[in-house]
Amino acid sequence: MTVVLVDAGGTNIGSVRYALQRLGADAALTSDAAAIRAADKVILPGVGSAGPGMARLRELGLVELLRSLTQPVLGVCLGMQLLCAHSEEGDTKCLGLIPAEVRRFAERPGLRVPHMGWNRLSVQREHPLLAGLGEDEQAYFVHSYAVPAGEWTLATADYDDAFSAVVARGNFHGMQFHPERSAAVGAKLLKNFLVL
């Protein structure tokens, strides 16, 4: 099985790669269209903001390629947001694979933005990506923008309101949290992705 990490300039690439190595998957970091197209599994990691993230994908000529993939694809953190239709962050048109609008958390008294720390995952519908996930499992989040809950939502987390923590639509999947920093839960979900 070949797994690739799309080199979209994210700063979490090394830690995602190491998490995959612990699961026995040596994921190559690449921006080569042929390598991405040929891979069995594709992961789009990302830390940063939507505008520069999409600009990098356009610059590398990967936008249409990513949209055309038929193998399992996983967006992580910003990578998940880039799978959506649009982000309020920089008024950015994204890949449009999940018909959702990425919105900034509303700042309220007692609600700090960015949302940082451990948060409980609440399963909304069964899916192989969530196999073995218990009721009180938590994952580690760092983000200021979120995807609202919708038909694409597999699991939510709550930060003053429910938002999508795990999404799926067809062969495209996303995790808003950092699985590589989410201990056993993150490892379990990455392992589930590798066997989709």
Question: Catalytic annotation on 77?
Answer: yes
Phi, psi values for residue 123, rounded to 5°: -70, 130
Which amino acid belongs to residue 137? E
CB count within 10 Å of CB 48 equals 16
Question: Catalytic annotation on 178?
Answer: yes
Closest CA to 190 of 131, 104, 149, 126: 131
**pLDDT value of residue 10:** 65
The residues facing 158 across adjacent strands are 162
CB count within 10 Å of CB 53 equals 25
Annotated active-site residue in 77, 84, 115, 143: 77
**pLDDT value of residue 12:** 67
Q: What DSSP designation does 125 have?
A: S
Query: Low-confidence residues of the chain, pLDDT below 70?
Result: 10-12
**pLDDT value of residue 195:** 97
d(Cα 19, Cα 118) in Å, to the nearest integer? Answer: 18
Q: State how far the alpha carbon of 166 is from the alpha carbons of 32, 33, 56, 146, 163, in Å.
A: 27, 26, 24, 11, 9
12-24 confidence digits (pLDDT tens): 688 899 999 999 9
CB distance 50 to 57 below 8 Å: no
Annotated active-site residue in 115, 143, 173, 178: 178
What domains sit in the chain, N to C, each tagged with a CATH number? 3-194 (3.40.50.880)
Longest dimension (CA), the chain: 49
CB count within 10 Å of CB 2 equals 14
Q: Is residue 82 classed as helix, strand or coil in its secondary structure?
A: helix
Question: Catalytic annotation on 180?
Answer: yes
Phi, psi values for residue 161, rounded to 5°: -160, 160
Annotated active-site residue in 94, 115, 173, 180: 180
